[in-house]
Amino acid sequence: MNQRGVTIWFTGLSGAGKTTISKAVAEKLRSQGYRLEVLDGDIVRQNLTKGLGFSKADRDENIRRIGFVSHLLTRNGVIVLVSAISPYHETRLEVKQKIGDFVEVYVNAPLKVCEERDVKGLYKRVRRGEITNFTGIDDPYEAPVNPTVECRTDLETVEESVMKVLDRLEELGYCSDKLKVGVG
């Protein structure tokens, strides 16, 4: 299959649904024979960026490293799905400019909803004072001003969010409308 490479960058607070949506998009793309790689922020931190902390400088370096790998894959015709909080606008913009073929997906859920989900138990630990410099609590999250796609996971189903992403990828010429068969 001849395909264009693109990085689909899922950004949002912890618990917003980045990994859930990116996995569902990846599954749909794989089922249609697209070549892709998934770079999940948690897995990347265990391997590629092990040793980096959560200071602004370390968070920026983490995103730059993910962006570097994404750029290499994208320019070689691979669809890259990144799910990483990536809290700072300027660093996301830097990575976007470097990669070029870049689709920013803002996975938007209010902090209250993310705390209620608390999939990893992190918000409880933050509230007990066990974790500091946590994005959205005592470290900022700079929401995208003009994302390519916005998924409101507090108001829509996973399937609706996946369709938004797939529709936009089709509009931008990265995949065909055959992806929509069997979704929704």
Q: What is the pLDDT of residues 9-49, one digit of tens each?
A: 999 999 999 999 999 999 999 999 999 999 988 787 777 76
- Which candidate, 81, 74, 1, 71, places its Cα nearest to that of 33? 1
134, part of any domain: no
Please name the amino acid found at residue 29.
Answer: L
101, part of any domain: yes
At CA 89, angle to CA 86 and CA 95, rounded to 5? 70
117, part of any domain: no
1, part of any domain: no
> What pLDDT was estimated at residue 39?
93
At 112-158, the pLDDT tens digits run: 999 999 888 889 998 998 988 888 898 899 999 999 999 999 999 99
Range of the structural domain that residue 52 is part of: 6-109+141-179
115, part of any domain: no
| Residue 180 pLDDT > 70 | no
| Residue 50 pLDDT > 80 | no
Active-site residues, by number, are 86
- Whether the CB-CB separation of 96 and 70 falls below 8 Å is answered with no
> What pLDDT was estimated at residue 178?
56
> What pLDDT was estimated at residue 5?
96
Instruction: Name the pLDDT band for 161 (thresholds 50, 70, 90).
Output: very high
Q: Please state the domain count of the chain.
A: 1
- Whether the CB-CB separation of 5 and 78 falls below 8 Å is answered with yes
| Residue 177 pLDDT > 70 | no
CB atoms within 10 A of CB 39: 21
Q: What share of the chain in percent tops pLDDT 70? A: 95
- Whether the CB-CB separation of 173 and 4 falls below 8 Å is answered with yes
> What pLDDT was estimated at residue 181?
46
At 88-98, the pLDDT tens digits run: 999 999 999 99
31, part of any domain: yes
Which CATH number fits the domain that encloses residue 89?
Answer: 3.40.50.300
Mean pLDDT of the chain: 90
Residue 109: C-alpha distances to residues 16, 41, 151, 176 (Å): 5, 18, 8, 29
Instruction: Name the pLDDT band for 1 (thresholds 50, 70, 90).
Output: low
Q: In what order do the strands lie in the sheet with 149-152?
A: 36-40, 79-83, 6-11, 102-108, 149-152
